[in-house]
Amino acid sequence: MKKRIAIFASGSGSNAQKIMEHFKRSSEAEVVLILTNNPQAYVLQRADNFEIPSHIFSRHEFYDTDTVIRLLKNLQVDLIVLAGFLWLVPPTLLAAFPNKIINLHPALLPKFGGKGMYGDHVHKAVLAAGEEESGITIHFVNEHFDEGEILHQSRFKIEPGDTLEIIKFKGQQLEHQNFPRVIESLLKKMKS
């Protein structure tokens, strides 16, 4: 029986695409649903391209009802992946999927994490701090932004003269290389 992955994303969904590509031919796991809080998110088009169903939900539906949890349970989802999803996961969802929700953060946690630290905000903070390296962190999700147990970190060097765009590009390369691989190894460790 294939392991079943659901991906939450709020925007373009380039990581979601890499994950869908990675598991498209896998005999071990499959992406069964893409969820978003943003009806304009490009990730919906990407899901469509892979013929993977998607679900758009409102803040009310996510925080005040169990609609999303029921949907994930009905699909027998084994792992929830946050790939550029910007809302804090509610305690009800954490309780329904203990140690089964992971996130990718575009910096080396615990530095540059927390509320409001996503996308360019993170990279600008890294640049402003004069860091010599940055990277990505893949971690379990808990009730706080970016504080769950770390599963994987990859680093890159920040060269003198690196711009925001270059740092973003270096980080994205690491995301695309590592996120699907870390998901795959995590799924292998999970009991059926």
DSSP class per residue in 112-160: T-STT--HHHHHHHHHHTT-SEEEEEEEE--SSTT-SPEEEEEEEE--T
The span from the CA of 129 to the CA of 127, in Å, is: 5
Q: Considering the entire predicted model, what is its pTM? A: 0.97
| Residue 190, pLDDT score | 87
The CATH class of 3-108+137-153+179-189 is alpha beta
* Residue 146 φ/ψ, nearest 5 degrees: 60, 30
Structure tokens at 40: 């304009």
The position carrying tokens 């679900």 is 55
Query: Which residues of the chain register pLDDT less than 50?
Result: none
| Residue 34, pLDDT score | 98
The answer to whether 82 and 101 have CB atoms below 8 angstroms apart is yes
Going by C-alpha positions, the residue among 131, 129, 177 that lies closest to residue 154 is 177
Spatial neighbors of 99 by CB under 8 A, at least 6 apart, are 140
The answer to whether 171 and 11 have CB atoms below 8 angstroms apart is no
Active-site residue 55, yes or no?
no
How is residue 76 annotated by DSSP? T
> Out of 22, 55, 105, 123, which one is annotated catalytic?
105
Listed in order, strand segments (DSSP E) in the chain are 3-8, 29-36, 54-56, 79-82, 101-105, 133-140, 150-157
| Residue 192, pLDDT score | 54
